[in-house]
Structure 1
Amino acid sequence: MFLQILTLAVIFFLTFPFFFFFILNINSNSKSNKPSSTTSDVLPKRYPIIGSYLAVKSNLRNRVQWITQILQHCPSATYTLHHVFGYRQIFTANPDNVHHILKTNFNNYPKGHFFINVFFDFLGNGIFNADGDPWKFQRQVSSHEFNTKSLRKFVETVVDSELHGRLIPFLSDAVSDRTVVDLQDVLQRFAFDNVCKIAFGYDPACLLPSLPPTQFADAFEEATRLSADRFRAPLSIHWRIERFLNIGSERKLKTAISRVRDFSEKVVREKKQELADNSSLKSVDLLSRFLSSGHSDENFVTDIVISFILAGRDTTSAALTWFFWLIYKHPEVEKEILKEIKEKSDMPVYEEVKDMVYIHASLCESMRLYPPVPTDGKLAVEDDVLPDGTVVKKGTLVTYAPYAMGRMEKIWGPDWAEFKPERWLESDEAGKRSLVGRDPYTYPVFNAGPRICLGKEMAFLQMKRLVGGVLRRFKVVPVGEERFEPVFLAYLTAKMEGGFPVRVIERGELH
């Protein structure tokens, strides 16, 4: 007990100068929220001891936009942010730097102990929270399963079942009842049902007509949000103290994680028993595949499946939410999408999805402006120098920012702010469109290098099937003031603040 009191006392005296300085300068951060045409005014002010803490704190809710504005004003699109007690964090939107971090010098930039410690309670040693040999092993196992045709076919079946069995009927009811629906919530439920079926072989049935609360889904959402709050905290000592004392948000997080893991472990045990009782059972979901291939350790498979649920639930729903907002604002794009849907409607499912190049380009363009994962950080193992000359000291957090990269004139040209799917397309002499590939280090929406997203193809399959199925039947119209603009929030993934209320209108036959 004495040691605990002593530790808290030391923490208080170390942080007292910061709080004193904060009180004296409480009004000095007002200018940091105001955009300026000059670089000197855009860059945050830095003070002794606390660095740029005042600017960081005043921009917590719009941190991604704030960092983007800073990077847009830096010649090399790289900036070193100074935190409390001399700690530094490097932000970059420079493709050469991203290539260096994610591929050329990959081994020097793991996730690192900071990221792993923040998310360990939730993700354990899962693939998205692992480095070194544990990550390599999980990556190898997962890559084998993701590259099988049988899994792709299973994903197609699951997506079509959820689309035609739940989402389309739900939207049809919304048309009949003339109700306003939160499309962000609906898409999250759709994605959660899908990913749980694919990962666990379990149907949480979130997207029922009544939009029921589900213990597992609600606990998962709570655990995700509170874990993200840890990562975004300007001083990690705050949440560490709360965890130590089991109070506040950390107590809520502990409860949510306990519910997620208890349920997940129960499903794993039941699946193991099911496979043991019926050795001829077809291994279709990821959990069955891992268990059938000899990976029977419950902690291992629980960690990896929770990681895949996290990735599959939030990323596709975030991408689709912003996509529907953008095509509403750009009716000329919606018109081209409808034309493509009509042309491909007689094709088999897989061929239809593969040939929907304009929808694919529209999704890519939407994710350029609103990437599901707006920033991603790595921790430098050793001293380094980035290609643009930025010096990286051992232990520095280096963050690349897909959100900012999608808004860089040097990368996308003077029309970077415009929503133009055509920038992803080219036409041959016969007028047939095809996709133009982009360097993944210029467009790292699906990560890049050795950690590039395994589920990229499945994500596009799910999104394109949903877009085709929904827009074939319905028009989505946002509800709100005429000039209403949704607010972009960045947790682990991008969200719209307050949801995305819409009305759904029956489109009728396509002409």
Structure 2
Amino acid sequence: MESEKTLSFFQSRQTPFSSPFFLFFFTILIPLLSFFLFSLRHKIWCNCNTCRSCITSSWSKDFDNLCDWYTHLLQKSRTQTIHIHVLGNTITANPSNVEHILKTRFDNYPKGEPFSMILGDLLGHGIFNVDGNLWRFQRKMASLELGSVFVRSSAFDNVATEIKTRLIPLLYSVAGKNEGVLDLQDVFRRFSFDNICKFSFGLDPGCLELTLPISHFAHSFDLATKLSAERAMAASQWIWKIKRVLNIGSERKLREAIHQINILAKEVIKQRRKLAFSTNQNLLSRFVAITDNESYLRDIVISFILAGRDTVASALTSFFWLLANHSEVELKIRDELDQRIQENQDFATLEQIRHLHYLHAAISESMRLYPPIQFDSKFAQEDDTLPDGTFVKKGTRVTYHPYAMGRMEAIWGPDFMEFKPERWLKSGTFCPQCPYKYPVFQAGIRVCLGKELALVEMKSVAVAVLQRFEIKVDRVGYAAIRFEPGLTATMKGGLPVVVKERSTHAGP
């Protein structure tokens, strides 16, 4: 109301200030003034080598990815911790610090308001973007569902059906063709999108039909996650905030993508309500039963997709890329499959999947080197000192870096860059590592609730594909992975592969 009166006042005055230019100038001036005050309090023009490289992106001359540059800095650090002054960001690869952040002083390191603002337009008040009671409530509801034996069994049945009726037939359709090159990353993203939608919402988008274009929802979701991640990489939050106020550039694209997401998320909720509770064994139905808040339900939908789609697709893509470059590991997995699964068996059982120890070790080792979530940030509520002696000032962004942690000699030994599943085995049995040195699924109070479901899904895909096909990377000199900006690790250019049918397997 007050702003309307102010606008009316200017419109009533016959002065140059009544033009739209003044409103445009006013819109720019306030953020710029705030940015100037912010600059006085933060060292945004620090001239140290690290900050200069960060601002100018000169690190890209020597490193393929930002995460590789951070890894280099952390490897050189005596404490395995660094501070990027211009970002106000303390980054660590020290397991003791990770335990301190995620467990010992969990109360002091929430997601925080800055993080919530960065992802707020996309994630709203979903579980990955909130703290306190709202987070506890959503986690409790999800935990009740995911902890059910019936739900876990149903989830496996969903995965098995998607693999048998869509993924395997699709791969057979291109196997051995002269131009049978397939983007495996795209296939896995479609597969996991279908699967999470069926499991979480009881609805089937049918994305794995390659004859159809990927859904508007999935395309908009990809763009929105990419642009939201770029906000977090900006030297100052005021850069994207000004662009958002003016509705220009990347912020305009983000707004348009989120608009499409909102339309389609509402349709998911509408369809779920139409079906009522005739098929209520899905996560969304539990939330629909307790609230009519459309905005809140929309946030739940987006959070479920982020959790179950991108992370699984990223992990599977990296895993098959590593197998294509390490035939000895692939051979050992096949040997294990031959020992555990009968030759004429159509599909592995859940019990068989759980006892594939070497496969479990290979997938874990793959995520050690290429975690789906490369880093995660919190914000300190109060001054604190990390176990390695690093002082953390109130309001500082504190980031633990799973990608870098997988490349620390102090954690994994001198062979840290080797793809070595054996490091996870003891007398042939899989042995999990300390979650604070391997925080791929987070750790402590926020540990991923869907960890076991994700592992079963990945192992199921690996078994079905490796039993039937040979996958070869179709890119000469493809020795290093380059990543797209995003909330999860996405290979730039996808993963083009040639698919060939194995002669030892009978067929689909």
Mapped to 2, the partners of 1:128 and 1:457 lie a distance apart of: 18
Mapped to 1, the partners of 2:129 and 2:99 lie a distance apart of: 21
Q: Tell me how far 1:82 sits from its aligned partner.
A: 0.6
Residue in 2 that maps onto 1:287 = 284
Mapped to 2, the partners of 1:491 and 1:126 lie a distance apart of: 18
CA separation of 1:453 and 1:401: change in aligned 2, threshold 3 A: same
- 8 Å Cα contact 2:469/2:500 also seen in 1: yes
Mapped to 2, the partners of 1:240 and 1:493 lie a distance apart of: 23
Residue in 2 that maps onto 1:305 = 301
- 8 Å Cα contact 2:202/2:279 also seen in 1: no
Q: Tell me how far 1:46 sits from its aligned partner.
A: 4.2
Residue in 1 that maps onto 2:392 = 392
Matched, 1:52 2:51: yes
Residue in 2 that maps onto 1:189 = 190
| Residue of 434, 445, 448 corresponding to 1:450 | 445
SS state at 2:378 partner: strand
Residue in 2 that maps onto 1:225 = 226
Matches within 5 A, 1:33-432: 46-47=46-47, 52-58=51-57, 59=59, 62-83=65-86, 88-178=88-178, 179-275=180-276, 281-292=278-289, 294-346=290-342, 349-427=349-427
Residue in 1 that maps onto 2:501 = 506
- 8 Å Cα contact 2:116/2:129 also seen in 1: yes
Mapped to 1, the partners of 2:397 and 2:102 lie a distance apart of: 14
CA separation of 1:490 and 1:425: change in aligned 2, threshold 3 A: farther
Give CA-to-partner distance per residue, 1:165-220, whole Å, 9 cap, x none: 11111111111433111111111111111111111111111111425231111111
SS state at 2:275 partner: helix
Give CA-to-partner distance per residue, 1:282-314, whole Å, 9 cap, x none: 31221123334x344332222122101011111
- 8 Å Cα contact 1:338/1:510 also seen in 2: no
Q: Tell me how far 1:233 sits from its aligned partner.
A: 1.7
- 8 Å Cα contact 1:97/1:387 also seen in 2: yes
Matches within 5 A, 1:475-494: 475-482=470-477, 484-494=479-489
Give CA-to-partner distance per residue, 1:418-465, whole Å, 9 cap, x none: 0000000011xxxxx211121111100000111100100000010000
SS state at 1:372 partner: coil
Residue in 1 that maps onto 2:16 = none
**Percentage of pairs with the same residue:** 46
CA separation of 1:249 and 1:46: change in aligned 2, threshold 3 A: closer
Question: Which segments of 5 or more consecutive residues in structure 1 lack a partner in the other structure?
Answer: 20-44, 428-432
Mapped to 2, the partners of 1:507 and 1:75 lie a distance apart of: 49
Mapped to 1, the partners of 2:70 and 2:193 lie a distance apart of: 31
Q: Tell me how far 1:488 sits from its aligned partner.
A: 3.4
Residue in 2 that maps onto 1:32 = none
- 8 Å Cα contact 2:227/2:486 also seen in 1: no
Q: In terms of mean alpha carbon deviation, does 219-228 or 5-14 score higher?
A: 5-14
Give CA-to-partner distance per residue, 1:250-272, whole Å, 9 cap, x none: 11111111111121112212312
Q: Tell me how far 1:486 sits from its aligned partner.
A: 2.9
Q: Tell me how far 1:483 sits from its aligned partner.
A: 5.5
Mapped to 1, the partners of 2:36 and 2:135 lie a distance apart of: 40
SS state at 1:241 partner: helix
- 8 Å Cα contact 2:230/2:485 also seen in 1: no
Mapped to 1, the partners of 2:263 and 2:88 lie a distance apart of: 38
Q: In terms of mean alpha carbon deviation, does 197-206 or 378-387 score higher?
A: 197-206
Residue in 2 that maps onto 1:27 = none
Q: Tell me how far 1:17 sits from its aligned partner.
A: 13
Question: Which segments of 5 or more consecutive residues in structure 2 lack a partner in the other structure?
Answer: 1-19, 40-44
TM-score (norm 2): 0.88
TM-score (norm 1): 0.88
CA separation of 1:211 and 1:499: change in aligned 2, threshold 3 A: farther
- 8 Å Cα contact 1:56/1:63 also seen in 2: no
- 8 Å Cα contact 1:200/1:288 also seen in 2: yes
Letter in 2 for 1:290: F
Q: Tell me how far 1:482 sits from its aligned partner.
A: 4.3
Mapped to 1, the partners of 2:490 and 2:109 lie a distance apart of: 27
Letter in 1 for 2:288: L
Letter in 2 for 1:124: G
Q: In terms of mean alpha carbon deviation, does 483-492 or 335-344 score higher?
A: 483-492
- 8 Å Cα contact 1:216/1:263 also seen in 2: yes
SS state at 1:177 partner: coil
Residue in 1 that maps onto 2:13 = none
- 8 Å Cα contact 1:359/1:464 also seen in 2: yes
Mapped to 2, the partners of 1:310 and 1:57 lie a distance apart of: 31
Residue in 2 that maps onto 1:9 = 29
Output the aligned Cα RMSD: 2.4
- 8 Å Cα contact 2:341/2:352 also seen in 1: yes
Mapped to 2, the partners of 1:51 and 1:318 lie a distance apart of: 29
- 8 Å Cα contact 1:150/1:284 also seen in 2: no
Mapped to 1, the partners of 2:485 and 2:450 lie a distance apart of: 21
Mapped to 1, the partners of 2:441 and 2:182 lie a distance apart of: 29
Mapped to 1, the partners of 2:182 and 2:166 lie a distance apart of: 15
| Residue of 456, 460, 469 corresponding to 2:464 | 469
Q: Tell me how far 1:93 sits from its aligned partner.
A: 0.3
Mapped to 2, the partners of 1:284 and 1:395 lie a distance apart of: 41
